[in-house]
Amino acid sequence: MQSEIFNNGTVYTGSAGLALFYLMRYLKNPRADDNYLKLALQYIDLRNLKGRRISFLCGDAGPLAIATVISYRMGNNRPKSLPDYNTLAQRLLDLISLLKESPDELLYGGAEYLYALLFVKEYVHESDIIASKHIEKVIANILKSGRSFSAQMKSESPLLWQWHDKIYLGAAHGVAGILYLLLQGRSYVNHQDMRSLVKPTLDWLARQKYASGNFPSSLGSSSGDRLVQWCHGAPGFVPLFVLAYQIFEDDEYFKIALQCGDVIWQRGLCTKGYSLCHGVSGNAYSFLYLYQVTKDPIHLYRACCFMEWCAVEMPDTEQHPPDRPASLFEGLLGRLCLAEDISSPEDAKFPAFTL
């Protein structure tokens, strides 16, 4: 079955995405049933890790982090075929050797390596499983890279990153995604860097917003105010500005998140389809983040409307069928995550993005 519906072992389009789905179902209520944990293990394949990519989504860090948590949670019931969680965690730590040659963005880079480390810290309840110094080293590398490129570009933003010779702003490849991971790992960011680097970059990013409330996909983007999807556009900015509002208690950040929500409601039924990355299910999560803060039923209603759109599959609403139709970020599995999360919206988390 795995070879028939998944073309690789990654979280983004491969079998590890299904492992993550089952693992998160288990972690929501670990005392109820360990069958989800056993199912998660079935879809983790550590034999074919390439050792070339560092990220949680498209590299080795995702399968290793997921396997570490599975091994820890199984305890004495761990099968002999699954290594001990300390061994798996060490393999995850060893990936830091790839950090300097990797980009900083989420899909392939250091920001999602940071996510993998924080993921293990969150779900393996041993304080020394991932040393704080290791996380701080990853963050320091991301900040150093951001400062260096900002200085090179003579930017008003103290931090700036590039990917494939473009300065992306959104969640998948750009500033918003990197800042969101830094804010989630804020306990490992020193106060001076938060005050002089992270927050001013956040404020600079806020100023890039279109009058409509949407954001460009990149600086000087030729596509204009067009893309409304998690990877490029307003949906990827909602979690960032909601979290920034909660941390800094600045109402302006939440106003931006609300504006993004209105843009998504007006223009977020993507013709690219129903996926998490660039489709309607990913956009629906924006409303769940807004609902979690406001408890205003309008946001839950909007999320449910988008969920219905994903479930019904009306003719001509998916003009670009996905290459990996079963996968987490491009296919059906993302819709299943949304369906699960929308049933308990207070606890909803965009997969592989929010801890």
Does the annotation place 270 within a ligand binding site?
A: no
Looking at the structure of the chain, the number of domains it has is 3
Same domain, 2 and 126: yes
Same domain, 145 and 201: yes
In this structure, are residues 159 and 175 in contact, taking their beta carbons and an 8 Å threshold?
yes
Phi, psi of 168 (to 5 degrees): -75, 150
Same domain, 121 and 15: yes
Same domain, 227 and 314: no
Instruction: Tell me how far CA of residue 160 lies from CA of 48, 115, 156, 231, in angstroms.
Output: 34, 19, 9, 18
Same domain, 22 and 92: yes
Does the annotation place 231 within a ligand binding site?
A: yes
Distance between CA atoms of 12 and 259, rounded to whole angstroms?
Answer: 28
Residue after which a domain boundary falls, among 101, 130, 159: 130
Q: What is the pLDDT along the chain (355 residues), one digit of tens a residue?
A: 454 567 789 999 999 999 999 999 999 987 767 899 999 999 999 998 988 999 999 999 999 999 999 999 999 999 999 999 999 999 999 999 999 999 999 999 999 999 999 999 999 999 899 999 999 999 999 999 999 999 999 999 999 999 999 999 999 999 999 999 999 999 999 999 999 999 999 999 999 999 999 999 999 888 889 999 999 999 999 999 999 999 999 999 999 999 999 999 999 999 888 999 999 999 999 999 999 999 999 999 999 999 999 998 777 666 677 778 899 999 999 999 999 999 999 999 999 999 9
Same domain, 4 and 125: yes
Instruction: Provide the whole-model pTM.
Output: 0.96
Same domain, 197 and 169: yes
Same domain, 264 and 274: no
Does the annotation place 305 within a ligand binding site?
A: no
Distance between CA atoms of 110 and 23, rounded to whole angstroms?
Answer: 23
Distance between CA atoms of 235 and 62, rounded to whole angstroms?
Answer: 23
Residue after which a domain boundary falls, among 93, 111, 130: 130
Domain that holds residue 28: 1-130
Q: Which of 89, 144, 143 is nearest to 116 (CA)?
A: 89
